[in-house]
Amino acid sequence: MPYKMHYDSDKRLIISDISCQCGCVHNSPSQDIYVGNGILDNIASYIDKRGWGKKCVLVADNITYDVAGGRASALLTAAGYNVSECVLKREGRLEPDETAVGEVFLALMPDTAFILSVGSGSITDTARVVASKVGLPQVCVGTAASMDGYTSSICPLTYRGVKIHRPGKCPEIIVCDIDVIKTAPMNMVASGVGDVLGKYIAKADWKIGRIINDEVYCDVCGEIVTDALERLLDNIDEIKSRSDAGIKLLVEALLLSGMTIMIIGHTRAVASVEHNIAHYWEMMQMFRGRPAPGHGASVGVSTRLVWPVFKRFEGEKLSKINLDAARKSLMSREERVKWMNYAYGPAAQSIMDENEGDFLSLSEQERRIARAQARAEEIRQVIAEMPPVSLIEDAMRRLGAPMTPEELGVDDNLLNLSMHCAKDYRTRYTLFKLISEMGLEDKYLADYPLNRRD
Ligand SMILES: [Zn+2]
Ligand SMILES: [Zn+2]
């Protein structure tokens, strides 16, 4: 094994002995990540070790406050901490938006020593962006194994209805008490599994990026993600029963996937086109004033949708590509701007600004096609490593996860559009980009027709 994973006597999860020749700098995570039963009781001693001071702002929503926030507050108060509670009260789902971020920001006092967030994705991200901006340490108490973002350094947020990503930092202390996390509802468990399943696609796209664009692929991060996937799929029944062992496995799979972000400093190992589709659905539903589907559930469904496209490409004869058709498929700058505005609406401009590399020149497109043709066998191998889609479908079904876009409230129009424009969300290379650059988009996405009127 090119890395070691173990726990110390405090139930602190440690990754060490990373051995990789990929050429990247591999950071050893400096965060204290605790996983185990009943460990919320130790929260004061975990924080004491850091010596930050005694004043903190606790961020929770009404649900997570009841699940663990109130208890964390009482435990810290009893240990001599001064806890100021910032409970974000919402009718439905908490959106990590300007209102939530503003509330947390205004709850801070000049002598606040650290922020304590109690929750899963939205709460952690809301607290994370504020902690990073004001330079305060953060302690995160996880309340659900629903996504891999606890260890992330990126904050997916909503700003004026548009999904944005802001740099943040990983919380210095993460406490995953299995006794707390296993009480989260089954749909959150299924969501966490969905988020992990997407890593199959992320890994394949990363390897394709290495083949086409000489991207550096980190073997150890690839291995960490593979181990997380395999352990998860081997233990679906344990996870389904929400046993201590099953939930711990899921928590570890999510934390380990997320730790690749700390190790190499980017999210390449954990997110690709399947995440783009999930973000797109979420963003577009918000623009339409409709409830946004949950992150992990969306990633599970989108993974299932893109999988057959990958498997079909495995049999594509790249040497027989119609080069004229491929060249004709390249959009001019004007055409691309028009397409992006059509597909992404109010979010189009910022996406184009951040991804200038997606305005492709003909010579670059031809280079990529030639590279794909020359190394077709390697691409085929990457896809052949993916198991049959039935493996992930079976896991999703057993957990009662949503299987179709319809179950997520995503209609055909949105689905069809998302399959065509997910590749345009960011420059990061994907098989979907390659399919488009080779002039094969109409053939591969014939089941997802676009009815553009412009
Ligand atoms: Zn995710
Ligand atoms: Zn590496």
Residue 428 structure tokens? 């990061």
172 and 26 belong to one structural domain: yes
Ligand nearest to C-alpha 275:
1
The Å distance, Cα 21 to ligand 2 centre, comes to: 6
8 and 123 belong to one structural domain: yes
How many angstroms separate the CA atoms of 255 and 413, rounded?
35
CATH code, domain carrying 39: 3.40.50.1970
CA angle at 389 for the pair 329 and 265, rounded to the nearest 5°:
70
The Å distance, Cα 295 to ligand 1 centre, comes to: 7
What pTM value is reported for the model? 0.93
The Å distance, Cα 299 to ligand 1 centre, comes to: 7
**Inter-residue contact 95 to 121 (CB < 8 Å):** no
157 and 289 belong to one structural domain: no
The residue range of the domain holding 291 is 273-305+317-444
In 3D space, the residue among 433, 415, 435, 447 whose CA is nearest the CA of residue 277 turns out to be 415
The Å distance, Cα 260 to ligand 1 centre, comes to: 13
The answer for residues whose C-beta is within 8 angstroms of residue 42's C-beta and 6 or more apart is 10, 34
39 and 150 belong to one structural domain: yes
Ligand nearest to C-alpha 297:
1
Boundary (domain end) residue, out of 143, 167, 183: 183
Provide the 3-class DSSP secondary structure of residue 4. strand
The Å distance, Cα 195 to ligand 1 centre, comes to: 5
Neighbours of 108 (CB within 10 A): 18
DSSP collapsed to 3 states, 267-331: CCCCCCHHHHHHHHHHHHHHHCCCCCCCHHHHHHHHHHHHHHHHHHHCCCCHHHCCHHHHHHCCC
* Cα dihedral 64, 65, 71, 72 sign: positive
142 and 286 belong to one structural domain: no
Adjacency order of strands within the sheet including 173-177: 32-36, 173-177, 138-142, 114-119, 55-61, 82-88
Residue 263 structure tokens? 């190790």
Boundary (domain end) residue, out of 137, 154, 183: 183
The Å distance, Cα 217 to ligand 2 centre, comes to: 7
162 and 286 belong to one structural domain: no
Ligand nearest to C-alpha 202:
1
175 and 283 belong to one structural domain: no
The Å distance, Cα 110 to ligand 1 centre, comes to: 34
Residue 104 lies in a domain: yes
- List CB-based neighbours of ion ligand 1 within 5 Å: 195
Residue 210 lies in a domain: no
- List CB-based neighbours of ion ligand 2 within 5 Å: 20, 22, 24, 218, 220
Ligand nearest to C-alpha 201:
1
Q: Within the chain, how many helices (H) and strands (E) appear?
A: 22, 10
Chain Cα centroid distance, residue 420: 20
Residue 192 lies in a domain: no
pLDDT at 452: 61
**Inter-residue contact 140 to 180 (CB < 8 Å):** no
Ligand nearest to C-alpha 152:
1
Residue 453 lies in a domain: no
The Å distance, Cα 271 to ligand 1 centre, comes to: 7
Query: 60 has which bridge partners?
Result: 87
Residue 73 lies in a domain: yes
Ligand nearest to C-alpha 274:
1
The Å distance, Cα 225 to ligand 2 centre, comes to: 13
Give how many domains the chain has, as a whole number: 2
The Å distance, Cα 213 to ligand 2 centre, comes to: 17
Residue 233 lies in a domain: no
Q: What is the pLDDT along the chain (454 residues), one digit of tens a residue?
A: 799 999 999 999 999 999 999 999 999 888 999 999 999 999 999 999 999 999 999 999 999 999 999 999 999 999 999 999 999 999 888 899 999 999 999 999 999 999 999 999 999 999 999 999 999 999 999 999 999 889 888 888 888 877 788 888 899 999 999 999 999 999 999 999 999 999 999 999 999 999 999 999 999 999 999 999 999 999 999 999 999 999 999 999 999 999 998 899 889 999 999 999 999 999 899 888 888 898 999 999 999 999 999 999 999 999 999 999 999 999 999 999 999 999 999 889 989 999 999 999 999 999 999 999 999 999 999 999 999 999 999 999 999 999 999 999 999 999 999 999 999 999 999 999 999 999 999 999 999 999 765 4
**Inter-residue contact 224 to 259 (CB < 8 Å):** yes
25 and 164 belong to one structural domain: yes
169 and 285 belong to one structural domain: no
288 and 422 belong to one structural domain: yes
How many angstroms separate the CA atoms of 16 and 36, rounded?
19
Residue 215 lies in a domain: no
Boundary (domain end) residue, out of 129, 154, 183: 183
In 3D space, the residue among 172, 178, 301 whose CA is nearest the CA of residue 250 turns out to be 178
Residue 284 lies in a domain: yes
pLDDT at 33: 97
Query: 156 has which bridge partners?
Result: 165
What is the phi/psi pair of residue 261, to 5°?
-65, -40
pLDDT at 216: 96
171 and 281 belong to one structural domain: no
154 and 288 belong to one structural domain: no
In 3D space, the residue among 60, 68, 275, 273 whose CA is nearest the CA of residue 156 turns out to be 275
The Å distance, Cα 150 to ligand 1 centre, comes to: 11
